Amino acid sequence: MTLDLLSHLKQMLSAPGLSAYEDPIREIVAEAWRPLTDELSVSRVGSLHALKRGDGAEPRPKVLLSAHMDAIGLMVTAITDGFLHVTQVGGVDARILPGQLVTVHGQKDLPGIVVMPPEFLLPPEVEKGSVPLQYLLVDVGLRPAEVEELVRVGDVISFAQPPLELTGGAVAGHTLDNRASVAAVTHCLELLQRRKHAWDVWAVASAQEETNFAGAFTSPFAIQPDFAIALDVTFAKGPGSTDWRTFPLGKGVTLPWGPNIHPALYEAITKTADELDIPYSREAAPIVTSTDADAIQVVQAGIPCLVVSMPLRYMHTPVEMVALKDIQRAGRLIAEFICGLPVDFMQTVEWK
């Protein structure tokens, strides 16, 4: 199978799939992964599991690739005169919401827009500057009775802007965190079709990372990998973000370093990147990585972890931006790393 990575990514960016409501995006990922793997299954919390068997002697060692597929968004908290009051699902910055296109997932999908009252109707303390989420509303353009019939408290609302292909190989969209990483796993699986690898590879599109890490806690418990690689996005350099916490867009992946990362695994993957001239930056993660690895590392007796990240601008907004080249680099780096793993690799892995 030869996959058009850009088309695959844009298809994912056009789908809803809020945290705990991942069904639409899971179906798209399953369609892409089915011809690239040997088994597909869905976990009890909604994560997608895909197994690509290695060619080593059984019992084979196992590596888990975890990329969360869920997205941030909104949830209806009340309905007043046909207007929807909302709260956030995951980390949503209210400053970017007014004027955004959304889809309300009620009894049927309803197009809507995020609106705010005119300034003179707001309390004096919020008349100037950004309007807090509690004063924002979603308008679906229907009469109040119709809204009451079609929408209930607890219905979720997703961003609806279509993905945008930019010049210079960049892509913008509302769920690149973290469907860019799902695309990287897809690219990795496609590369492994033409390569031998001794290890079994478990690809997981994990659920509920943006809210409670449910997928990252439960899938490793079921799979019991020898080690895991979490794929996610990190902060790219942009307006006002030039310090050590940000990285150049399109100039390579980042490999976080900190207490969530196993030193021997880090040394091994950086060696692979150096040998292949795949550009990367060392990313300081002094406490946690804020990725699936934070949960995976402490499952059962502890699972050694790595993280591979891609720089992304405007995180947790409807116009996140990533370089397609970095997605390809992440997928290739992981594929090459897996292909180079000897069956007895874990016997050499020590924390030191």
Q: How does pLDDT run across 320-336, given as a tens digit for each residue? A: 999 999 999 999 999 99
Rounded mean pLDDT of the chain? 95
Reading phi first (left if > 0) and then psi (alpha if -120 to 50, else beta), residue 197 is in beta
Domain residue spans of the chain: 5-71+174-348, 73-159
H/E element holding 257? Answer: strand 253-257
Topology, domain 5-71+174-348: Aminopeptidase (3.40.630)
pLDDT at 342: 95
Please check whether residue 47 is in contact with residue 223, taking contact to mean a CB–CB distance below 8 angstroms.
Answer: no
Tell me which residue of 193, 197, 199, 194 sits closest to 63, measured CA to CA. 199
Among candidate residues 147, 143, 145, 176, the one with its CA nearest the CA of residue 71: 176
pLDDT value at residue 339: 97
Torsion of CA 81, 83, 85, 91, to 10 degrees: 180
Q: Is the pLDDT of residue 2 over 60?
A: no
pLDDT (0 to 100) of residue 129:
76
Indicate if the pLDDT at residue 349 is higher than 90. Answer: no
- Could you give the percent of the chain with pLDDT greater than 70? 99
pLDDT at 228: 98
Compute the distance between CA of residue 167 and CA of residue 69 in angstroms, rounded to an integer: 26
CA distance 47 to 206: 5
Q: How confident is the model at residue 117 (pLDDT cuts 50, 70, 90)?
A: confident
pLDDT exceeds cutoff 80 at 352: no
Instruction: Give the global pTM.
Output: 0.95
Burial environment of residue 127 by CB neighbours within 10 A (0 to 12, 13 to 18, 19 or more): exposed
Query: How far is residue 144 from each of residues 80, 136, 147, measured CA to CA in Å?
Result: 8, 17, 5
Q: Which of 26, 20, 73 is nearest to 213 (CA)?
A: 20
Phi, psi for residue 256 in degrees, rounded to 5: -60, 150
Question: Can you tell me the distance from the alpha carbon of 228 to that of 187, in angstroms, rounded to the nearest whole number?
Answer: 17
> Which contiguous run of DSSP H or E holds residue 232?
strand 227-235
The pLDDT tens digits of the residues spanning 270-296 come to 999 999 999 999 999 999 999 999 999
Distances (CA, A) of 129 to 88, 94, 124, 294, 316: 20, 11, 11, 35, 20
For the segment 199-250, what is each residue's pLDDT rounded down to a tens digit? Answer: 999 999 999 999 999 999 999 999 999 999 999 999 999 888 778 899 999 9
Alpha-carbon distances, residue 47 vs 73, 181, 340 (angstroms): 19, 15, 28
Q: Is the pLDDT of residue 1 over 50?
A: no
Mean pLDDT of 330-352: 93
If you classify domain 73-159 with CATH, what class do you get? mainly beta
pLDDT tens, 230-239?
A: 999 999 998 8
Q: Nearest CA to 186 among 308, 40, 55, 4?
A: 4
